[in-house]
Amino acid sequence: MSKRILVVDDEKLIVKGIRFSLEQDGMQVDCAYDGEEAMEKFSLYTYDLILLDLMLPKLSGYEVCSRIRETSQVPIIMLTAKGEDIDKIMGLDCGADDYVTKPFNILEVKARMKAILRRSGAPRGKEEKTLRTRDLFLDAENHRVFQNEREIRLTSKEFDLLWLLAANPKKVYGRDVLLNLIWGYDFPGDARTVDVHIRRLREKIEETPGEPRYIMTKWGTGYYFNENE
């Protein structure tokens, strides 16, 4: 079954080029040219992935992403013409899984899309449907996390990060390794993507994010999960 993609950008030539390239790969592509139209399309159809421009008329990409995250964990890749780090970080902060800076190579966009789609659609083995550690319970089949019976809403990438770290306690993962394992990049990614996702994850599961008890930092090396109280 072909993947259904929503492409949101107010630059019609960019949308046309992306649509043509994705349809050549057998994907079904819907298009929107402003934030309100994007929300209308999202309310009508179920998408496998959304390519979302940051600067949009009517509703910004930030607003669209935040609203979608209230009800859905569909993978979102932000498209941004801005080079400032703060814009990239804000895009990740509102719930995006990744970002690509314009002007971009369509092959890079497709590589990132395919990596995310492959990861989000890959079933886990029977022995890995649930995981319990300390006061956390992870349900891989439904992508749900509970902490002392309270459900914590995570994006797909936050869940994958937590699962990987919690399933391998005390093992330190460097940022490049996490990019490869979670995002599936076959080319150098941006380590800040990992850092922002780790920060967001800490804000959701840690009582005091600045003094984490679960996801620890090994300075100069990477991150690991602390299985001890």
What are the pLDDT digits (tens) for 58-84?
999 999 999 998 888 889 998 887 666
User: Are residues 203 and 103 part of one domain?
Assistant: no
| Across 35-46, average pLDDT | 94
Strands 144-147 and 150-152: antiparallel
- Residue after which a domain boundary falls, among 88, 121, 154: 121
| pLDDT tier at 141, thresholds 50, 70, 90 | confident
Same domain, yes or no: 115 and 10? yes
| Predicted pLDDT at 67 | 92
Question: Is 42 in the same domain as 141?
Answer: no
Claim to verify: residue 53 and residue 137 sit in the same structural domain: no
Same domain, 42 and 76: yes
Same domain, 110 and 145: no
Give 3-state DSSP helix, strand, coil % of the chain, rounded to 5: 40, 20, 35
Q: Which domain holds residue 40?
A: 4-121
Q: pLDDT value at position 120?
A: 62
**Do 77 and 97 contact (CB within 8 A), yes or no?**
yes
**CATH classification at residue 94:** 3.40.50.2300
Q: Which of 24-38, 114-128, 147-161 has the highest mean pLDDT?
A: 24-38
Say if residue 117 is in the same domain as residue 168. no
Q: What pLDDT is stored for residue 216 in this prediction?
A: 93
Give the CATH number for residue 170.
1.10.10.10
Q: Are residues 156 and 197 in the same domain?
A: yes
Q: Is the pLDDT of residue 224 over 90?
A: yes
pLDDT(225) > 60:
yes
**Cβ count within 10 A of residue 121:** 10
Quote the pTM value: 0.70
- 11 and 80 in a common domain: yes
Q: How would residue 229 be classed by pLDDT, with cut points 50, 70 and 90?
A: low
Last residue of a domain, one of 96, 121, 146: 121
| 90/181 same-domain check | no
pLDDT tens per residue, range 170-186: 899 998 888 888 887 65
- Top-confidence residue, 224 or 120: 224
Where is pLDDT greater, at 87 or 136?
A: 136
82 and 56 in a single domain? The answer is yes
- pLDDT tens digit sequence for 111-135: 888 878 876 654 444 345 888 888 8
Residue 1 pLDDT > 70, yes or no? no
Residue 49: closest CA among 87, 24, 18, 80: 18
Looking at 106, 121, 136, the residue that finishes a domain is 121
Number of domains making up the chain: 2
DSSP lists the bridge partners of residue 133 as 136
**Contact criterion met (CB below 8 Å) for 109 and 27:** no
Q: What is the pLDDT of residue 198?
A: 92
Query: What is residue 155's predicted lDDT score, i.e. its pLDDT?
Result: 84
Whether 37 and 139 map to the same domain: the answer is: no
Mean pLDDT of 3-20: 94
- Strand-pairing partners, residue 144, are 139
- d(C-alpha 19, C-alpha 128), whole Å: 37
